């Protein structure tokens, strides 16, 4: 089948970008990478890209295909071009462009380094292996499967507006140590991860979960890290108060109380933040949008309260189950 | 296809966005939906409860789904976030061994007698328009075609990702459903980059600047592409895009001012309701005169 | 001036392990790689890593299995070392953080693998290589080792018969620089791209082997090219032995588990050369399905497949369109591994002073005529460590660099020549021609005529190499240029493989000649050695080191 690739090229020296269209023939199961390689090998040797294993294990060929970060080697051309429409190919997002589809991964790795990405056991190692539960190791398989391809980072919404955010890849890697029973620095890691630009800055948008080709689900790891932080008492700051207040109002009345949520989240003694909320609150008052001061419970709230009580009483295992 | 649903209005439509509740009642009735409100259903937790206590949040949602199951009705929501959370819960119950049993075990302790079997379908107004009512049927009910209204869609993350939870393999059109709906109402669809991105609401308290930057970027994007109104099926997005728009504008240094409508409000206008019928006087960014954009012989009702 | 005590060429498992060890011994070490370390092909190893660690197992048993697997071409002193040191090496990996599979007591749990008399393959689901590689890179980050990331080696610097470093191109700027070192450890992986198709990544172009060969080091047993039994037809991608290790069957078009006729005891877990030949025979004799046989995992059950074979399932789904839970997967033998390589001793030292080698690039020889699954990951760790330690010791007595400016000038001239010559042929087309003839004629079954035909073709292609031009004339990330340089390396190696295959007149391990179908221990219990010389590879032999196990008939 004939495939048209619209590639965003960037000149290595001037950094000017332009679109270039290529057409090539592929077999029915041909991938976007097959197409790009054919173009490079037969038509245009100047096209620069990274690729190696062709089987989604080395992580080199991360690029934006039709606007979403994917590994080109497992993206079938027929899947992204159902009626033969041209396929848009651009470099991965949120990283500086070096040339064409090659981006600079230095910022990516510097974020990974920030999370102390190596096992730090307590005390000297045993003579043989550490004894650990089979399930604890199997639980880590999905996050060990991360190939550092950067698809998550490319499409991360928070990174788009805030380059200081540690980012989904590094935070998923951090979880891998937080949840490893052999690591002796869990508390210190949690304290570092709950700082600004850490786990509380994730905007919960699922882009990384959707784009990850290996099922790592970085956002789920970030949320699991929050849950462990809660269990371990590393629980302070706006994000933690937000979650606490949410749980309190729902547990008490069965529904969210927007009136108390924002003030309690930012901290009742945080005068600056409280003052910042006032204009917004006044606007809501003016539009009769402000929720009623009398926060009514839902009918049948007793059942909800008993459910919350039962949940609190359940002594769950220390490690998060997902 | 049935138009009878167990209605789950969610928290925000009864709190900070009562105009949404109001328009849902009017518009679904006009479209022939029969709604049985789940008054005893609690908040889904919006994902926030899940990150604090995963199993409790699952069981709280299982309770809601069990209520609908008892009535043998699918759930209809009017919030992308509610949809996403409940779809995620259903998906986990199907694919993660032990999760349904854990949820039911907690429910037993609450003593209300709810036990979820795992069979409730969860849908929302946007999907129901296409999949239950049908877009042709919707088109036939339009009495005031919104010609001239240039509408930018904003989905809300939870109704788009992850695709597996939202059954996008079986229903790939769900990824772009606002376009045919907008067009069925006679309006013009405005394409812009941010429509499938995040509005920033989840981090409004944790990182205010980032949150408002996101909202501001998307609104500016839509305006640059010629939109004179934005529509969203998620009231949490609505809060960040509408109620916070003045602050988002502050972060940008000006240049915003786009009315944001809830999905049933947009539909309601096309069905002949007035902006006041649909509670649009409660919007922070003035929305009462959106109909001035509509080129039609019918008079704009006050 | 860039200089270090030790420069490690290649930052896969062997390279990184060597660097860590050399650093521990106090040397100033730098790694150099043409890709980021975690993109190295070590990441593609799926099944596991061997060691005799469990109750009732012994290093002697592991060693014997390896000797037999090698078809008695492996050097038994090296094999004994590998088997003895495997246990501690794997424990060390676990201490570094590798999330190995556990049994119900919480100890390391092993799976079955080809050619092994008992389960001794330790694993992380079916992506063991990736898991270990990333943990090794974590240790590199922790140790703050200097890495020349995305640098391409063009030459080894040889002065007075000893290696004094490398000349390399910084791929991001096009700058040519000598990196002076008192010793170079070559750990640049295999040469799979000499064949088409191959399971290997696009970067596996034998740069290290060819550079050493050109610098005077001998390449040993290069005819021993492993065809892996289970590769996908569409693109040559590997389906791990782990599937068979966990109980999958191989069946022909008649639904028969045909290995019963070739290896009645070990069946699907016989050595890879035996299984590949069995498959090729079935296909040749008309009992294949569309040029393949079938790998059947259905009876393993959904739960087991999802837990232990998840990556295989994805690969089969993405590239063969089958869900192994419900359907058998068509597979066939594909070029996978080079048992041969740069000759080293058990310390990783080559006969050339200053050149060390480890991993697939090297030939100690542990694998002899055929490598057992899960022994190659082991080799990278054990011999990476040994080479690192040996090189660190060696450099203590070595002088610093003289800093000869001629080297970069010479390389720059060569590159300018390559960049400026007209583009009469593209490197990819020449590579394809080379790859196809090698896969046709120097694969599972070989003949004199076939080998000669391939060799003649390779010589022709070498003659036209000066016509290969480069379209990209830029300095930054010029992949066109690197492809042309890689082709030069590969053509050298293809010729060596042909010469070695023609030279060994017997069948042993992966080298099967229909004109010499028997193993000849009288005349050929020897390694082949290829030296670079004016008219082509000059061949010599070297006796195999036997310690305890005299060659006997090899059957599975």
Touching partners of C (3+ C-beta pairs < 8 Å): A
Most C CBs within 10 Å, among A49, A125, A137, A215, to test the C interface: A137
Residue B119 covered by a domain: yes
Residue A321 has pLDDT above 60, yes or no: no
Who among A243, A288, A306 is closest to B51 (CB)?
A243
CATH fold of C230-336 reads: Flavocytochrome C3; Chain A, domain 1 (3.90.700)
| Residues in chain B within 8 Å Cβ distance of A276 | 208
| Residues in chain A within 8 Å Cβ distance of B243 | 280, 283-284, 289
| Residues in chain B within 8 Å Cβ distance of A210 | 161-163
Full pLDDT tens readout for chain C, 556 residues? 999 999 999 999 999 999 999 999 999 999 999 999 999 999 999 889 999 999 899 999 999 999 999 999 999 999 999 999 999 999 999 999 999 999 999 999 998 887 888 899 999 998 999 999 999 999 999 999 999 999 999 999 999 999 999 999 999 999 999 999 999 999 999 999 999 999 999 999 999 999 999 999 999 999 999 999 999 988 888 898 889 988 999 999 999 999 999 999 999 999 899 999 999 999 999 999 999 999 999 999 999 998 888 888 988 998 888 999 999 999 999 999 999 999 999 999 999 999 999 999 999 999 999 999 899 999 999 999 999 999 999 999 999 888 788 999 999 999 999 999 999 999 999 999 999 999 999 999 999 999 999 999 999 999 999 999 999 999 999 999 999 999 999 999 999 999 999 999 999 999 999 999 999 999 999 999 999 999 899 999 999 999 999 999 998 8
Looking at the domain that runs over C406-517+539-543, which CATH code has it been given? 1.20.58.100
Residue ranges per domain, chain C?
Answer: 230-336, 406-517+539-543
Who among A203, A300, A312 is closest to B200 (CB)?
A203
Asked whether residue B108 falls in the same domain as residue B150, the answer is: no
Residue B226 covered by a domain: yes
CATH fold of A2-103 reads: Ubiquitin-like (UB roll) (3.10.20)
Query: What's the number of CA atoms in the CB half-sphere (13 Å) around residue B238?
Result: 31
Cβ distance A304 to B60 less than 8 Å, yes or no, reads yes
Name the CA dihedral angle for C266, C269, C274, C280, rounded to a multiple of 10 degrees. Answer: 120
What tokens does C454 get? 């391939």
Residue B259 covered by a domain: yes
Same fold, C230-336 and C406-517+539-543: no
CA distance B94 to B89: 9
* pLDDT (0 to 100) of residue A270: 85
Tell me which residue has tokens 């597979």.
C331
> Under a CB-based contact definition with an 8 Å cutoff, are residues A69 and A212 in contact?
no
Residue ranges per domain, chain A?
Answer: 2-103, 106-231, 238-313
User: Among the residues of A28-124, which ranges form H helices?
Assistant: 32-38, 77-80, 106-114
- Across the A:C interface, residue pairs with CB atoms under 8 Å apart total 164
C139's enclosing H/E stretch is helix C128-143
Q: Does A93 touch chain B (CB under 8 A)?
A: no
The range of the structural domain enclosing residue B20 comes to 4-123
Asked whether residue B26 falls in the same domain as residue B106, the answer is: yes
CA distance B205 to B297: 46
Asked whether residue B118 falls in the same domain as residue B26, the answer is: yes
> Under a CB-based contact definition with an 8 Å cutoff, are residues A62 and A92 in contact?
yes
> Under a CB-based contact definition with an 8 Å cutoff, are residues B71 and B5 in contact?
no
Checking DSSP bridges between strand C2-9 and strand C29-33, what pairing results, if any? parallel
* Residue-wise pLDDT tens digits, C123-163: 999 899 999 999 999 999 999 999 999 999 999 999 999 99
Name C191's Cβ contacts closer than 8 Å, sequence gap at least 6. Answer: C200, C204, C205, C206, C209, C338, C490, C493
What tokens does B146 get? 């919104």
Who among C38, C237, C474 is closest to A148 (CB)?
C38
> Under a CB-based contact definition with an 8 Å cutoff, are residues C147 and C32 in contact?
yes
Cβ distance A49 to C202 less than 8 Å, yes or no, reads no
CATH fold of A106-231 reads: Fumarate Reductase Iron-sulfur Protein; Chain B, domain 2 (1.10.1060)
* Residue-wise pLDDT tens digits, B135-191: 999 999 999 999 999 999 999 999 999 999 999 999 999 999 999 999 999 999 999
Residue B188 covered by a domain: yes
Asked whether residue B16 falls in the same domain as residue B159, the answer is: no
Q: How many distinct structural domains can be found in chain B? A: 2
Touching partners of A (3+ C-beta pairs < 8 Å): B, C
DSSP code, position B112: S
Q: Please give the model's pTM, rounded to 2 decimal places.
A: 0.93
Residue B73 covered by a domain: yes
Asked whether residue B86 falls in the same domain as residue B183, the answer is: no
Q: Does B64 touch chain A (CB under 8 A)?
A: no
Q: What letters, b where the CB count within 10 A reaches 16 and e where it falls short, cover A82-114? A: eeeeebbbbbbbbbebbbbbbbebebbbebbeb
> What angle do helix axes C375-394 and C13-24 make, rounded to 10 degrees?
40
C543 DSSP β-pair partners: C526
CATH, residue B58: 1.20.1050.140
The widest CA-to-CA distance across chain C, in whole angstroms, is 68
Q: What is the ipTM of this complex?
A: 0.93
> Under a CB-based contact definition with an 8 Å cutoff, are residues C165 and C175 in contact?
no
Count the Cβ atoms, other than its own, within 10 Å of residue A309.
Answer: 12
DSSP code, position A30: -
- The percentage of chain C sitting over the pLDDT mark of 90, rounded to a whole number, equals 90
Asked whether residue B13 falls in the same domain as residue B111, the answer is: yes
């Amino acid at each position: 089948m004939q495939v048209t690739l619209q590639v965003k090229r960037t000149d290595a020296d001037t950094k000017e970008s332009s679109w270039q269209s290529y057409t090539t023939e592929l077999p029915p199961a041909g991938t976007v990478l097959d197409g790009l390689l054919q173009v490079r090998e037969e038509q245009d040797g100047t096209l620069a890209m990274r690729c190696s294993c062709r089987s989604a294990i080395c992580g080199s060929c991360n690029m934006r295909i039709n606007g979403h970060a994917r590994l080109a080697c497992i993206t079938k051309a027929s899947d992204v071009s159902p009626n033969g429409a041209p396929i848009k190919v651009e470099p991965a997002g949120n990283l500086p462009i070096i040339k064409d589809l090659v981006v600079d991964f230095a910022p990516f790795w510097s974020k990974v380094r920030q999370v102390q990405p190596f096992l730090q056991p307590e005390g000297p190692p045993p003579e043989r292996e550490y004894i650990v539960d089979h399930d604890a190791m199997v639980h880590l398989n999905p996050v060990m499967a991360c190939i550092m391809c950067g698809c998550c980072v490319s499409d991360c919404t928070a990174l788009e507006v805030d380059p200081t955010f540690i980012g989904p890849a590094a935070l998923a890697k951090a979880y891998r140590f937080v949840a490893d029973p052999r690591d002796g620095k869990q508390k210190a890691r949690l304290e570092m991860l709950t700082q600004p630009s850490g786990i509380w800055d994730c905007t919960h948008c699922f882009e990384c979960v959707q784009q990850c080709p290996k099922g790592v689900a970085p956002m789920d790891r970030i949320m699991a890290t929050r849950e462990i932080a809660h269990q371990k008492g590393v629980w302070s700051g706006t994000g933690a108060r937000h979650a606490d207040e949410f749980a309190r109002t729902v547990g008490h009345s069965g529904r969210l109380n927007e009136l108390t949520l924002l003030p309690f989240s930012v901290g009742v003694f945080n005068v600056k933040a409280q003052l910042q909320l006032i204009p917004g609150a006044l606007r809501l008052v003016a539009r009769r949008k402000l929720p009623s001061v009398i926060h009514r419970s839902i009918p049948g709230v007793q059942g909800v309260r008993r459910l919350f009580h039962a949940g609190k009483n359940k002594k769950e295992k220390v490690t998060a189950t997902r | 296809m049935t138009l009878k649903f167990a209605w789950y209005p969610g928290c925000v439509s009864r709190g900070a966005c009562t105009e949404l509740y109001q328009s849902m009642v009017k518009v679904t009735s006009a479209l022939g939906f029969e709604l049985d409100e789940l008054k005893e259903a609690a908040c889904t937790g919006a994902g926030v409860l899940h990150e604090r206590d995963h199993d409790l949040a699952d069981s709280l949602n299982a309770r809601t789904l069990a209520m609908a199951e008892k009535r043998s009705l699918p759930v209809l929501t009017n919030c992308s976030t509610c949809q996403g959370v409940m779809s995620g819960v259903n998906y986990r119950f199907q694919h993660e061994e032990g999760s349904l049993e854990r949820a039911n075990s907690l429910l037993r302790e609450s003593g209300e007698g709810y036990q979820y079997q795992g069979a409730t379908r969860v849908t929302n107004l946007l999907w129901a328009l296409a999949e239950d009512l049908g877009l042709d049927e919707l088109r036939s009910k339009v009495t005031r075609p919104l010609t001239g209204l240039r509408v930018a869609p904003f989905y809300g993350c939870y109704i788009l990702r992850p695709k597996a939870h939202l059954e996008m393999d079986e229903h790939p059109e769900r990824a772009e459903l606002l376009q045919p709906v907008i067009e069925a109402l006679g309006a013009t669809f405005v394409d812009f980059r941010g429509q499938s991105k995040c509005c920033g609401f989840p981090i409004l308290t944790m990182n205010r600047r980032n949150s408002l930057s996101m909202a501001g970027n998307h609104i500016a994007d839509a305006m640059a592409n010629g939109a004179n109104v934005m529509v969203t099926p998620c009231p949490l997005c609505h809060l960040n895009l509408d109620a916070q728009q003045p602050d988002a504008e502050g972060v940008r240094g000006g240049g915003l001012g786009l009315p944001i409508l809830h999905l049933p409000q947009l539909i309601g206008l096309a069905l002949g309701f007035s902006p006041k019928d649909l509670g649009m006087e409660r919007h922070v960014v003035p929305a009462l005169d959106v109909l001035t954009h509509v080129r039609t012989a019918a008079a704009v009702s006050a | 001036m860039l200089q270090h005590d030790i420069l490690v060429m290649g930052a896969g498992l062997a390279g990184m392990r060597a660097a860590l060890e050399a650093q521990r011994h106090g040397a100033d070490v730098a790694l150099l790689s043409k890709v980021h370390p975690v993109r190295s092909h070590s990441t593609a190893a799926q099944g596991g890593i061997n060691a005799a660690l469990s109750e009732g197992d012994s290093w002697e048993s592991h060693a014997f299995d390896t000797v037999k697997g090698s078809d008695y071409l492996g050097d038994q002193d090296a094999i004994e070392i590998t088997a003895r040191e495997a246990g501690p090496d794997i424990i060390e990996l676990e201490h570094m953080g590798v999330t190995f599979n556990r049994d119900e007591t919480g100890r390391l749990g092993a799976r079955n693998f080809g050619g092994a008399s008992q389960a001794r393959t330790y694993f992380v689901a079916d992506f063991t290589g990736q898991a270990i590689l990333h943990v090794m890179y974590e240790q590199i980050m922790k140790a703050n080792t200097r890495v020349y990331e995305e640098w391409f080696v063009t030459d080894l610097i040889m002065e007075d018969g000893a290696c004094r470093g490398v000349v390399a191109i910084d791929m991001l700027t096009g700058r040519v620089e000598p990196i002076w070192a008192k010793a170079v450890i070559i750990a640049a992986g295999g040469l799979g791209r000499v064949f088409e198709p191959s399971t290997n990544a696009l970067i596996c172009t034998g740069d290290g082997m060819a550079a050493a060969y050109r610098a005077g080091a001998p390449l040993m047993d290069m005819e021993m090219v492993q065809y892996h039994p289970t590769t996908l037809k569409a693109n040559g991608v590997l389906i791990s032995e782990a599937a068979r290790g966990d109980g999958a069957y191989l069946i022909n078009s008649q639904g028969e588990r045909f290995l019963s006729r070739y290896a009645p005891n070990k069946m699907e877990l016989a050595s890879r050369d035996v299984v590949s030949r069995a498959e090729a025979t079935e296909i040749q004799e008309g009992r294949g399905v569309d040029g393949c046989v079938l790998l059947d995992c259905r009876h393993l059950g959904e739960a087991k497949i999802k837990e232990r074979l998840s990556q295989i399932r994805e690969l089969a789904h993405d590239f063969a369109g089958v869900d192994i839970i419900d359907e058998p997967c068509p597979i066939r033998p594909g070029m996978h591994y080079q048992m041969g390589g740069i000759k080293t001793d058990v310390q990783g030292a080559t006969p050339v002073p200053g050149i060390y080698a480890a991993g697939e690039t090297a030939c100690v020889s542990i694998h002899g005529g055929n490598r057992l699954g899960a022994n190659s990951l082991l080799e990278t760790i054990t011999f990476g460590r040994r080479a690192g330690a040996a090189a660190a010791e060696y450099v203590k007595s070595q002088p610093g660099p003289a800093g000869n400016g001629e080297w970069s000038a010479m390389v720059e001239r060569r590159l300018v020549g390559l960049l400026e010559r007209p583009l009469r042929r593209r490197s990819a087309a020449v590579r394809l021609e080379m790859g196809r003839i090698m896969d046709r004629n120097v694969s599972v079954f070989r003949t004199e005529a076939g080998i000669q035909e391939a060799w003649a073709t390779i010589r022709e292609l070498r003659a036209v190499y000066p016509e290969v031009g480069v379209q990209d004339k830029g300095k930054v990330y010029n992949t066109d240029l690197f492809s042309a340089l890689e082709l030069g390396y590969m053509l050298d190696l293809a010729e060596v493989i042909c010469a070695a295959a023609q030279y060994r007149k017997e069948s042993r391990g992966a080298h099967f000649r229909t004109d010499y179908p028997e193993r000849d221990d009288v005349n050929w219990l020897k390694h082949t050695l290829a030296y670079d010389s004016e008219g082509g590879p000059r061949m010599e032999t070297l006796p195999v080191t036997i310690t305890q196990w005299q060659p006997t008939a090899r059957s599975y």
